[in-house]
Amino acid sequence: MKKSAADLLMERRLKFLGPDVSTFYEEPVHLVRGEGVWVWDAEGRRYLDCYNNVPHVGHCHPEVVAAICKQASTLNTHTRYLHEGVLNYIEALSKTFDESLATVIMTCTGSEANDIALRMAQSVTGKTGVIATDHTYHGNTTVVSQLSTTNPPIGGTPSNVRHVPAPDSYRPLGGNAQAHAKEFSKHVENKIIELEEAGFGFSAIILCPYFANEGFPDLPLGFLDEALKAVNRAGGLIIADEVQPGFGRLGSHMWGHQRIAFKPDIVTLGKPMANGHPVAGVVTSVDIMSDFRKSFRYFNTFGGNPVSCAAALATLQVLQNEKLMENAQKVGLYAREGLEKLQQKFDVIGDVRGAGLFFGAELVLDRETKEPATEFANRVANEMRQRGVLLSKLGIHYNTLKIRPPMPFSIQNADLMLETLGAVLADIPLQP
Ligand code: PMP
């Protein structure tokens, strides 16, 4: 039998990329073109993109493409030469933060940004102890990957890294919302003591203010107050990893930490920052930046280059000019209500959560026991792909549908996603 184009590509991937390079979906998608919230495969089939936050202002947005082309055909160098590009971008970006967060290091990936953030905390505190949640992902440098419990490091988690349970609003620690915050804080306080007693001292807590990889629990305003007060009391720094919730995705605020109302010392950015061009960054105060610069000689060949900064500035301008954060608020609310209607119809939807254009539904086999429908969620994502809607799943039990489309996602797009999901939930059996 003749091999399909997709089979041939899979063979070439194995040959040139090596084994175990993951793809989405049982039948991987071979994308060749994108525009707005749509992508097309090699056969000309169109898919609604409900997953990708990197093409933040829409796939191949013409203003971002034009900015990249213009700068790429003029000059591309690095930050050891003077250039307006990096300064113009940081000036525009810093207006979106509290005024104390006024300086930025530009990097190429979120992993690098988090790596720097941890080193900043070391340079300020002189300590090395770090606290993270037990179901997080902050990237893939050696140091940052050691924070992962889902892919634990060889040799085990280093003893200067301690984990606290990821918040889970559907199964809250202590049984209810109020106890949940208290319990979370208690865990943080205990880990600080452990780090101090072990001689590492406490340098920082790193967390995603939306707990995105943890399944975006619905947390009340101020949920983190008590825990972060304990961090401040112990002299540790607060690192907000905004790689996923940032740049207006949550609809109500530009940044996840603003939405849940806390003041980070360091903020890391990435994914959506330049609409697909590899741009990330670390935002902090002048004081922390100068401590870092005293302790570490840092230079990043590609970070802050003029082409990347042109892409990032154009992305930010489109986001603001096209009022895409406001769109995220409006369409996100509509889509969540649509999911809640589906929840009334399908028992398998145990919980509907999210904010702005980052929302989803937690699927369970039984609403009483809340037993995760992990395998079913996987089949739902695959069937949605077959029907032309791209989404995924995540969370502590990998049973939460993850819907996080490009920001120009419209009410009509939400309707198509909801109709397709309703049909899939009606058609596929709970057990295979
Ligand atoms: N932080 C978070 C919360 C992330 O989700 C990711 C990537 N998924 C990263 C950091 C790492 O970013 P990058 O892949 O750009 O290194």
Pull the structure tokens for residue 169.
């609003």
pLDDT of residue 367: 97
Buried b (16+ CB within 10 A) or exposed e, 311-346: bbbbbbebbbebebbebbbbbbbebbebbeebbeee
**For residue 242, which of 223, 230, 260 has the smallest C-alpha distance?**
260
Atom of ligand 1 nearest to the CA of 278: 15
Residue 106 has pLDDT above 80, yes or no: yes
- Residues 344-368, mean pLDDT to the nearest whole number: 98
Atom of ligand 1 nearest to the CA of 270: 15
Q: Quote the ligand 1 centre to 271 CA distance (angstroms).
A: 7
**For residue 114, which of 239, 298, 276, 237 has the smallest C-alpha distance?**
239
**For residue 403, which of 160, 49, 70 has the smallest C-alpha distance?**
49
Q: Quote the ligand 1 centre to 213 CA distance (angstroms).
A: 10
Could you tell me the pLDDT band of residue 5, with boundaries at 50, 70 and 90?
A: confident
Could you tell me the pLDDT band of residue 6, with boundaries at 50, 70 and 90?
A: confident
Atom 2 of ligand 1: nearest residue by CA position: 138
What is the percentage of the chain residues whose pLDDT exceeds 90? Answer: 96
Q: What are phi and psi of 32, to 5 degrees?
A: -125, -15
SS (H, E, C) the chain: CCCCHHHHHHHHHHHHHCCCCCCCCCCCCCEEEEEECEEEECCCCEEEECCCCCCCCCECCHHHHHHHHHHHCCCCCCCCCCCHHHHHHHHHHHCCCCCCCCEEEEECCHHHHHHHHHHHHHHHHCCCEEEEECCCCCCCCHHHHCCCCCCCCCCCCCCCEEEECCCCCCCCHHHCHHHHHHHHHHHHHHHHHHHHHCCCCEEEEEECCCCCCCCCCCCCCCCCHHHHHHHHHCCCEEEEECCCCCCCCCCCCCCHHHHHCCCCCEEEECHHHHECECCEEEEECHHHHHHHHHHCCCCCCCCCCHHHHHHHHHHHHHHHHCCHHHHHHHHHHHHHHHHHHHHHHCCCEEEEEEECCEEEEEEEEECCCCEECHHHHHHHHHHHHHCCEECEEECCCCCEEEECCCCCCCHHHHHHHHHHHHHHHHHCCCCC
Residue 3 has pLDDT above 90, yes or no: no
Q: Quote the ligand 1 centre to 397 CA distance (angstroms).
A: 19
Residue 2 has pLDDT above 90, yes or no: no
Q: Quote the ligand 1 centre to 97 CA distance (angstroms).
A: 20
Best residue among 135, 244, 249 to mutate for probing ligand 1, ranked by most atoms within 8 Å of CB: 244
Determine the Cα–Cα distance for residues 217 and 167; give it in Å rounded to an integer: 7
pLDDT digits (tens, 9 = 90+) for 12-44: 999 999 999 999 999 999 999 999 999 999 999
Q: Quote the ligand 1 centre to 170 CA distance (angstroms).
A: 25
pLDDT of residue 178: 82
> Is residue 227 a contact partner of residue 185, using CB atoms and an 8 Å limit?
yes
pLDDT of residue 62: 98
Q: Quote the ligand 1 centre to 110 CA distance (angstroms).
A: 5
**For residue 27, which of 305, 390, 297 has the smallest C-alpha distance?**
390
Q: Quote the ligand 1 centre to 179 CA distance (angstroms).
A: 30
Q: Which residue has the tokens 């930010």?
A: 316
Residue 1 has pLDDT above 80, yes or no: no
Atom 7 of ligand 1: nearest residue by CA position: 139
Atom 11 of ligand 1: nearest residue by CA position: 139
Residue 274 has pLDDT above 90, yes or no: yes
Residue 427 has pLDDT above 90, yes or no: yes
Atom 10 of ligand 1: nearest residue by CA position: 138
Q: What is the pTM of this model?
A: 0.97
Q: Quote the ligand 1 centre to 139 CA distance (angstroms).
A: 5
Could you tell me the pLDDT band of residue 306, with boundaries at 50, 70 and 90?
A: very high
Q: Quote the ligand 1 centre to 209 CA distance (angstroms).
A: 14
**pLDDT, averaged across the chain:** 97
Atom 13 of ligand 1: nearest residue by CA position: 110
pLDDT digits (tens, 9 = 90+) for 371-419: 999 999 999 999 999 999 999 999 999 999 999 999 999 999 999 999 9
Q: Quote the ligand 1 centre to 407 CA distance (angstroms).
A: 19
Q: Quote the ligand 1 centre to 23 CA distance (angstroms).
A: 17
Atom of ligand 1 nearest to the CA of 140: 16
Q: Which residues have C-beta atoms less than 6 Å from ligand 1?
A: 109-111, 114, 137-140, 208, 212-213, 241, 243-244, 270, 280
Residue 10 has pLDDT above 80, yes or no: yes
pLDDT digits (tens, 9 = 90+) for 57-85: 999 999 999 999 999 999 999 999 999 99
pLDDT digits (tens, 9 = 90+) for 154-211: 999 999 999 999 999 999 998 888 899 999 999 999 999 999 999 999 999 999 999 9
Atom 4 of ligand 1: nearest residue by CA position: 138
Atom of ligand 1 nearest to the CA of 212: 3
Best residue among 111, 216, 358 to mutate for probing ligand 1, ranked by most atoms within 8 Å of CB: 111
- Residues 330-345, mean pLDDT to the nearest whole number: 98
